[in-house]
Amino acid sequence: MILSFKKCIGLALTLLAFLGLSAQVPTQPILGHRSAPLLHIKGQSFKDLNKNGRLDAYEDWRLPHTRRVTDLLQQMSLEEKVGFMIISSIRMDGDNTFTPEIPARPVTSALEERDMYSRVNMFTRKPLRDTFLNIAATTKGVRELHLRHFILRSNASAFLLAEWANNLQALAESTRLGIPAIVASNPRNHVTVDASTGLSQGQTVFSKWPGELGLSAMRDLELTREFAAIAAQEWVAVGLRKGYMYMADLATEPRWERTEGTFGENADWAADMVRAITLGFQGAQLNPRSVALTFKHFPGGGPQVDGQDPHFEWGQDQHYPGNMFDYHLKPFQAAVDAGTSAIMPYYAKPVNTAYEEVAFAYNKAILSGLLRKKMGFRGIINSDTGPITMMPWGVENLSLVERYQKALLAGVDIFSGGADPSQLLETVRSGRISEKRIDESVRRLLLEKFALGLFENPYTDPSGAEKLVGNAAFQEKAALALRKSIVLLRNQQTLLPLKSGTKVFFEHHYDNGRGGQAFKSLIPDTPIPGLTFVATPEEADVILLWLVPNNGGLFGSTGKPIDISLSANRINVARVNQLRQSKPTILAVNFSNPWVVEEIDSPTAPTFLATFGTTVDALLDVVSGRFNPVGRMPISIPSSKAAVQINLADVPGFMEKGTYATFKFGDGLSYER
């Protein structure tokens, strides 16, 4: 039987689809270039990145990524490969993030050309024992140290960020092989209390959304994914192509000071959130419009002993008194299944488990056994910042070379927290690690860059970025999210929504620890129909108090026992109680941690709302009835300090026994219409 041409083509396409192969003919991509000449072959163009006058396989966008990676690996020297396995902090000209003692000056788009050396931990400002942290001058880092992975912690306008990123990519393109750089960042799109270095960028020009707990409180996976897709557009526009985020950790230990960056305590719901976030930022698979994500902190950083954090020596232990180790893996499995590009292990070391008591970056059974073999992760394992020189918990007795060896054998692909690859290079030259093992990691790192389209066009349009980032349409979507994130927990005497004609005294409580007024009266700039805002409590019919507790930030820890009562976290409890006893009161508390509210609570407690990083306008829209609250609690709120002391660190609050919680995961009311 002779088949027609159309039938033959159809059968071929069916076979390719069955084999999981694409029959799509590659189309000419846009090529962004500065110093690399273009090669024109049969009507198509290619970048001659190594400037040798011929088309190498790694320069040929028509070929599969795996073939291109193999070709490039063969051309890279050992020094280039090792430099490729360091992800270093980088600065824009004028940024003093790591040198606060130097007076600030305007940030520009120029590349920073000063080495920065410090004998203190970049986070805690405590002395470093083994070596000093260094951030290399940009040109030196790219050309001499062969660095291509960077973490940008500077804030600037969209135009300057994009222009700076272009300058960095032009520098990378001018090198021997023209391998592009990739720039990562911590979150830039959330309202947050703790914007410490390494946690969040705080106030930025990007669209402003609820904190991560607030996104979770919305209970809207579609809007969550839309948030991630919008944020990805903004990031790509300014040249940020890798997210040092998000936290798949579970907030099961109420004293842990990183609760704000999680999606809450319920593993199944957090897994759903992780999936939506991944698909929004990356798409179904990495592509030239993606931001590659790095979920952290494997295998779940929540169950810290007494809530202390492993950035500090006194917080290095992680335990599972409720035997719920596997429960904490669920969000990470969701990240793996959704295709996250990278996963970051925490500094902590497990205690009283079957695993070796060394930090997770050194833990072969955790990384190679559990994450890769059992959970099926095939992407990049990215160390947290500084386990080699700053937080080497459980391996303090090993030399730097021995630490690199142990971490590489455990499965780490790229090391964060410095800019000097010499000790990693020595680890290979001394024979402790083979170049074949190095190639495994570099292959993964190169695949990410090829998938993101950086070899074709790493450049962006600064003017276009300025128009796109934080635009009105994006912020309109974010405004909806800010309102949906607010949770109504109690509505005494149906006080809410406020009735027309009500006189409101609105007071905001926040103490940043640097002096000044800890509470201030707020009168909205834009009138709210039916409500009158007054200057004193005496004039009011109703008092609205918005309490924003502040523990001083993660890196203010001293190792003392952590107290999550309101009075211990800069809330003037006496004033709150005085006001709430004088008039009908609406209490709103911003839960960046599951603060214990027993000091202001009672059987006849006032109307109560929870916020998780939102705005004044959003809160007022809820209390006025212009927006019907829909949020649900992403965490449980302990009923007392005593309950906190006996909690099981790995057990979510809604599963704790007895009367552990005042408010539980999932609690929330709406107005009856």
Residues carrying an active site annotation:
384
The secondary structure of 490-541 as a DSSP string is E-GGG--SPPTTEEEEEEEE---SSSS-SEEE---SS--TTEEE-SSGGG-S
What single DSSP character describes residue 184? E
The Cα 189–Cα 209 span in angstroms is: 6
The Cα 519–Cα 509 span in angstroms is: 4
Cα radius of gyration (the chain): 26
List the beta bridge partners of residue 89. 151
The secondary structure of 347-363 as a DSSP string is S-EE-SSSS-SS-GGG-
Cα dihedral 223, 229, 231, 234 sign:
negative
The secondary structure of 532-588 as a DSSP string is EE-SSGGG-SEEEEEE------GGG--SSPP--BSGGGT--HHHHHHHHHHS-EEEE
The neighbour count for residue 501, using CB atoms within 10 Å, is: 9
Residue type, 566: L
Nearest CA-CA partner of 242 in 277, 281, 206: 281
The Cα 438–Cα 443 span in angstroms is: 9
The secondary structure of 190-222 as a DSSP string is B--S---TTT---S-SS--B--HHHHHHTT-HH
Asked if 342 contacts 306 with a C-beta cutoff of 8 angstroms, the reply is: no
The Cα 341–Cα 293 span in angstroms is: 6
The Cα 137–Cα 121 span in angstroms is: 19
Bond from prior residue into 327 cis (ω within 30 degrees of 0): no
The Cα 212–Cα 193 span in angstroms is: 12
Nearest CA-CA partner of 48 in 63, 64, 35, 62: 35
Residue 439, SS3 per DSSP: helix
Greatest extent of the chain over all pairs of C-alpha atoms, in Å: 96
Asked if 181 contacts 169 with a C-beta cutoff of 8 angstroms, the reply is: yes
Asked if 179 contacts 148 with a C-beta cutoff of 8 angstroms, the reply is: yes
Dihedral over alpha carbons 64, 65, 67, 68 (to 10 degrees) = 120
The Cα 584–Cα 606 span in angstroms is: 7
Residues 6+ apart with CB under 8 A from 68: 57, 58, 59, 60, 446, 450, 455
Query: Residue 278 corresponds to which tokens in the numbers above?
Result: 């991944």
- Tokens 């692909």, residue? 413
Helix, strand, coil percentages, rounded to 5, for the chain: 35, 15, 50
The helix or strand, by DSSP H or E, that contains position 415, with its residue range, turns out to be strand 414-416
Query: Residue 59 corresponds to which tokens in the numbers above?
Result: 């320069």
Nearest CA-CA partner of 593 in 656, 529, 644: 644
